[in-house]
Amino acid sequence: MAYLKILLLPLSFIYGILIGIRNLLFHIGILKSRSFKIPVLCVGNITVGGTGKTPHTELIIAELQKKFRVACLSRGYKRKTSGFILADDRSTAREIGDEPMQIKSKFPDIIVACDGNRVRGIEKLLALPEPPEVIILDDAFQHRYVQADKNIVLVDYNRPVFEDCLLPAGRLRETTKALKRADYIVVTKCPETLQPIERRILSKHLKIKPYQQLYFTSLKYGPICSLSAQETPILPTSQSSILCVTGIAQPGPYIEYLKQFTPDVTELRYPDHHAFTPKDIWRISQVFENLKTPEKYIFTTEKDAVRLNACVLPQELREQIRYIPVIPAFIYHDELLNELSEYVRKNQR
């Protein structure tokens, strides 16, 4: 793996030059960023996947929807449609992507839309009969054609960005210099026992500026849910067997959490945002049938559950599938949500 990384470093160098030129063109105004008449909040990162972006976006939505008409605009990664699409109660993960589908399912009263062209997407949202009062851009920190009012950037505690390198040798979309564009930096997936000395070290490594605020969150697991509405979830015991099916960037922590219930966990890992095929469903069924323990379950992540739910599943298989939502929790101080809400209130244009 180390040899492969060394071989890829020249490509990372070229990629870094191209990204630097692009950012320079925005900085000097050759490429234009557009601002809009309502508050636009951007939730993003500088790495590829795995920072907990969707749960944090949901946390912000849950707070803002108490007072404002909220829209969430995403590109709808790996959706099978193109252009602008407005989600409704008949939308599927195939049409709008798994993350927008998860958000729409949890927050049916907000506006959820997809468009790879965020400028066009915002224009379409503002043209609605009841336009939103605040727009949340999902994963748009690198989409600089929109001038967001507030940029919230997430970094993973377990994968320090200051120790990583650019794609394809590393996982960085941009160098850490890009963090200067952030208003808020949130270090996610921290241990709940994070010590003050660690916070100071992270602040130093991330080179926090006077105009920026640094927050820390951990991820807590919610109650077990069933994919089948007719099935009441039962907690697995130490005598149970679990087949864990994942298609996310960083499944390790989730699998370790399941091992708190039982050490007997069999894994089926798929790529991030994987679109499950009939062949995949057959394989899941076969592996599950081969588990010899009488008490056995299939566990998946909430994001994977959205995609699996859209598949044609045998009813007996559907009844065995569980998922566990993850919920961010702030460590030490949690003023971020109140600050964003107050900013939106004061900047209704």
The DSSP result for 114-164, as a single string, is: E-SSHHHHHHHHHTSSS--SEEEEES-TT-TTB--SEEEEEEETTS-GGG-
pTM for the whole structure: 0.94
Q: What is the pLDDT of residues 218-272, one digit of tens each?
A: 999 999 999 987 667 788 999 999 999 999 988 999 999 999 999 999 999 999 9
Which residues, other chains included, contact 43 with Cβ-Cβ below 8 Å and sequence gap of 6+? 53, 56, 57, 60, 136, 137, 138, 139, 140, 152, 154
Which residues, other chains included, contact 235 with Cβ-Cβ below 8 Å and sequence gap of 6+? 224, 261
- Cα–chain center distance at 49: 7
Rounded distance, CA 136 to CA 42, Å?
Answer: 6
Q: Are 305 and 324 in contact (CB under 8 A)?
A: no
Q: Mind listing the domains of the chain with CATH numbers?
A: 32-220+329-346 (3.40.50.300), 225-324 (3.40.50)
Band of pLDDT at residue 328, cut at 50, 70 and 90: very high
Q: What is the pLDDT of residues 107-155, one digit of tens each?
A: 999 999 999 999 999 999 999 999 999 999 999 999 999 999 999 999 9
